[in-house]
Amino acid sequence: MYNMDRWQGRVAVVTGASAGIGAELFRALVRHGMKVVGCARSMDKIKAIAEEDAMKASHGKLVGVGRNLANESDILSMFDEIRRTFDRLDVCINNAGLGYECSLLTGCTSYFRNMLDLKEFLGGKRFVSDEELENAVTTWLVELAAEEYDMGNLKLVDRYDKCLNVGGDYVEN
């Protein structure tokens, strides 16, 4: 299992946080000590999650924001609120979706285009420039690589110690 300790106190936004996968991610990140902004059209559902005993007892903090992310002004105001409240954003989980009553095989392509446009639109609003996006990805990759390198070294030392304990003099020769 992945160690989530390094994420404690960091700020995440989960869109589509009122139901399904988004709600479960919202709960899990709060339980792991993150400050999580849950965004959804239905604030009643977000408030119900906040009232759950497990959420009240968790180490993290949750903030609900009611927004319709199909509207650009709602997206911008969501990020403004995050900036005012936390002055940072470490993780963005873009889970917001649109639901249409139609079959995948016979549905109108405009429904699927709307969904793809929403995902692309939300992803692009977080970063003001290509350079900012590149810096965010580079920073994430450097942190991830450093953590994996450290974990690899720890495992190597642990395995070497086990070899010494089992093999004794044979390993040292």
pLDDT of residue 37: 92
- Tell the CATH superfamily of the 5-98 domain: NAD(P)-binding Rossmann-like Domain (3.40.50.720)
Asked which of 66-70, 71-75, 103-107 is least confident by mean pLDDT, the reply is 103-107
Is residue 74 a contact partner of residue 62, using CB atoms and an 8 Å limit?
no
pLDDT of residue 36: 92
Q: Report the distance separating Cα 15 and Cα 54, nearest Å.
A: 21
Closest by CA to 118, choosing from 75, 76, 82, is 75
Q: What is the mean pLDDT of the chain?
A: 73
CA angle 21, 24, 25 (to 5 degrees): 85
Which position has the token pair 């106190």? Answer: 9
H-helix or E-strand containing 38?
A: strand 35-40
Question: Domain map of the chain by residue range?
Answer: 5-98, 102-167
Q: Report the distance separating Cα 98 and Cα 116, nearest Å.
A: 10
Q: What is the pLDDT of residues 77-95, one digit of tens each?
A: 888 888 999 988 888 888 8
Q: What are 63's strand-pairing partners?
A: 37
